[in-house]
């Protein structure tokens, strides 16, 4: 990457390779024609390999939030109960979406910087006994906390006859979640995170149990109606007009990912997150997340005393060309968040750490204004 170009170290969207950007310049074609059918069938095949599933997959022209809403609207019917670990902004929003769909959200909560324990989740399930689904945000982007028990939580949900729906928007590709091996019923991710494509597409795996349920009980949504996507997808089409340039980009980003190998991509995220945590700690930034649940795709850290969040990040982008995110909700003004996903590599990490260290030094050593008496 040219050093004059801004380095996007957000928790998404993230840096996109020139190869993927160029793919968006493909021609406008008929989305009901043979050229698109060939493109889309290839995308679906590569998406299955990414999710490690032989089952159905769907690609929505929407943000990741749209993918989560699609999962809720397809699974939840009025009066249905869902068990939801809540440990940040996005898991809280998921619970609100269940309630908006007419369901009842049973919350399993934990303090900031932690995830609910598997024991607490098990107790909530046993107390509820019968429920429709577990909705689990694997990686809470707002706090940099990753729930370390996707496989076990999925198994526990199945023991209660419930579906397991995993929001892996900011984690899949930085973590391996083998959908078929673990029995995950639905898994959602976004194009702009670890896949390293532009934002605007949500990808979802759909298990056999969900498909069978939807045949008996069609959802009350048109745009996010999964059976419609599966029907059209079987012939290489989407039910509604796709964001064609984004599909070109996704196809190329999946090519990059599969050429690297999913296992190597996961390993690379792990290696780079260690470097980020170590370097930020040396610069005086304390992680929000407890060590056992620290995310390796989103590193959230408390500022040292005396650092003003918005001014710091603006100066970092302007003077150093590195773009990071602030906190929000209860973490607004207290926390910065650094993405560690997609194209992340040693040079990106080193540039980011150098920039943050130098900017912290200048911020903390800057002369304070004198108030006139």
- Tens digits of pLDDT across the chain (373 residues): 555 689 999 999 999 999 999 999 999 999 999 999 999 999 999 999 999 999 999 999 999 999 999 999 999 999 999 999 999 999 999 999 999 999 999 999 999 899 999 999 999 999 999 999 999 999 999 999 999 999 999 999 999 999 999 999 999 999 999 999 999 999 999 999 999 999 999 999 999 999 999 999 999 999 999 999 999 999 999 999 999 999 999 999 999 999 999 999 999 999 999 999 999 999 999 999 999 999 999 999 999 999 999 999 999 999 999 999 999 889 999 999 999 999 999 999 999 999 999 999 887 665 444 343 3
Task: Rounding to the nearest 10 degrees, give the CA dihedral for residues 270, 273, 275, 280.
Answer: -160
Rounded-to-integer distance, Cα 161 and Cα 163, Å: 7
What's the DSSP call for residue 227? Answer: H
Secondary element (H or E) of residue 245: helix 244-260
Class of domain 18-260: alpha beta
Choose among 11, 17, 346, 56: nearest CA to 171: 11
- Give the model's pLDDT for residue 373: 36
Per-residue model confidence (pLDDT) at position 2: 54
- For residue 80, what is the DSSP state? -
**Closest C-alpha to 342, from 298, 279, 278:** 298
How confident is the model at residue 135, as a pLDDT?
98
**Assigned token pair, 46:** 């590569």
Domain spans, the chain: 7-14+262-365, 18-260
Q: Hey, which CATH number is domain 7-14+262-365, 1.10.230.10, 3.40.50.2300, 3.90.25.10, 3.90.1150.10?
A: 3.90.1150.10
Q: In 3D, which of 143, 207, 151, 195 has the Cα closest to residue 169?
A: 195
Is 276:353 a contact under the CB 8 Å cutoff? yes
pLDDT of residue 328: 87
Per-residue exposure over 125-140, b if at least 16 CB sit within 10 Å of its own CB, e if not: beeeeebbbbbbbbbb
- The residue among 161, 179, 239 whose CA lies nearest residue 56 is 179
> Could you tell me the two tokens for 368?
């304070």
pLDDT score of 364: 65
The Cα angle at residue 247 between residues 2 and 231, in degrees rounded to 5:
160
């Amino acid at each position: 990457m040219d050093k004059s170009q801004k380095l996007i170290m957000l928790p998404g969207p993230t840096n996109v390779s020139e190869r993927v950007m160029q793919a968006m310049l493909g021609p406008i074609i008929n989305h009901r024609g043979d050229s698109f059918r060939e493109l889309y069938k290839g995308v679906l095949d590569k998406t299955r390999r990414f999710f490690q599933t032989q089952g159905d997959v769907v690609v929505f022209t929407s943000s990741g939030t749209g993918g989560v809403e699609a999962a809720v609207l397809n699974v939840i019917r009025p009066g249905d109960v869902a068990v939801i670990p809540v440990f940040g902004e996005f898991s809280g929003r998921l619970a609100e979406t269940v309630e908006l769909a007419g369901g009842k959200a049973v919350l399993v909560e934990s303090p900031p910087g932690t995830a609910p324990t598997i024991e607490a989740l098990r107790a909530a399930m046993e107390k509820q006994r019968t429920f429709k689904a577990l909705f689990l945000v694997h990686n809470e982007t707002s706090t940099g906390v990753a729930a370390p028990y996707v496989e076990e939580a999925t198994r526990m949900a199945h023991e209660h006859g419930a579906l397991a729906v995993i929001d892996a928007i900011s984690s899949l590709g930085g973590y391996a979640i083998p959908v078929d091996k673990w029995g995950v019923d639905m898994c959602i991710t976004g194009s702009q995170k670890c896949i390293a494509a532009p934002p605007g597409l949500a990808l979802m795996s759909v298990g056999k149990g969900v498909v069978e349920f939807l045949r008996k009980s069609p959802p009350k949504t048109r745009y996010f109606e999964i059976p419609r996507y599966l029907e059209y997808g079987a012939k290489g089409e989407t039910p509604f007009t796709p964001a064609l340039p984004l599909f070109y980009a996704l196809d190329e980003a999946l090519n990059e990912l599969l050429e690297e190998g999913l296992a190597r991509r996961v390993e690379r995220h792990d290696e780079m997150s260690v470097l980020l945590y170590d370097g930020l700690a040396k610069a005086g930034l304390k992680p929000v997340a407890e060590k056992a649940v620290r995310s390796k795709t989103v590193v959230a850290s408390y500022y040292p005393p005396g650092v003003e969040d918005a001014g710091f990040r603006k100066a970092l982008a302007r003077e150093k060309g590195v773009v990071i995110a602030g906190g929000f909700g209860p973490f607004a003004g207290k926390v910065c968040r650094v993405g560690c996903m997609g194209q992340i590599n040693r040079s990106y990490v080193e540039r980011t750490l150098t920039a943050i260290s130098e900017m912290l030094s200048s911020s903390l050593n800057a002369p304070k204004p004198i108030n006139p008496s």
